[in-house]
Amino acid sequence: MPRAPPTCPSRTVLHRIGARWTVFVVNALAEGPMRFTGLKAHIRGITPKALTETLRAMEADGLLTRHDLGGNPPHVEYALTDLGRSLLVPLRAIREWAEAHVPDIHAARERSGAEG
């Protein structure tokens, strides 16, 4: 498979999709809009800073919308856009592949002595 040149626009998109928390946010929002606290509770291990940065980047990329519901403290809801929802099918395929091949990956790591 030919390598994409460093200036290829797909690299930017793949970087966003491959970012550490993007997949978790997309999956969390698959069933519908959520507030920040709901997302943080759903995505174990994510810090508030990492979640804020991920949400901002995904909004800038058009993958989700941020809807200010007003109030004090502010109530904000996040939802996938059609573009963000379009990621659900390929992400599901990747998750299914990963789940099917966990034993193979673990066996290969054991053979190589790698940790993980």
How far, in Å, CA of 32 to CA of 70, rounded?
A: 19
The secondary structure of 21-89 as a DSSP string is THHHHHHHTTTS-EEHHHHHHHSTT--HHHHHHHHHHHHHTTSEEEEEEETTTTEEEEEE-HHHHTTHH
For 16-52, write each residue's pLDDT tens digit.
777 789 999 999 999 999 999 999 999 999 999 999 9
> Model-level pTM?
0.80
Would you state the pLDDT for residue 38? 96
Q: Is the pLDDT of residue 86 over 80?
A: yes
67 contacts 76 by C-beta, under 8 angstroms: yes
Q: Around 14, how many Cα atoms within 13 Å sit in the side-chain half-sphere?
A: 7
Query: What average pLDDT does range 8-13 have in this prediction?
Result: 78
Cα–Cα distance between 46 and 48 in angstroms, integer? 7
Q: Tell which residue, 105, 75, 98, 76, has the closest CA to residue 27.
A: 98
Mean pLDDT (whole number) for 67-72: 90
* CA dihedral of 51, 56, 61, 62, whole degrees rounded to 10: 100
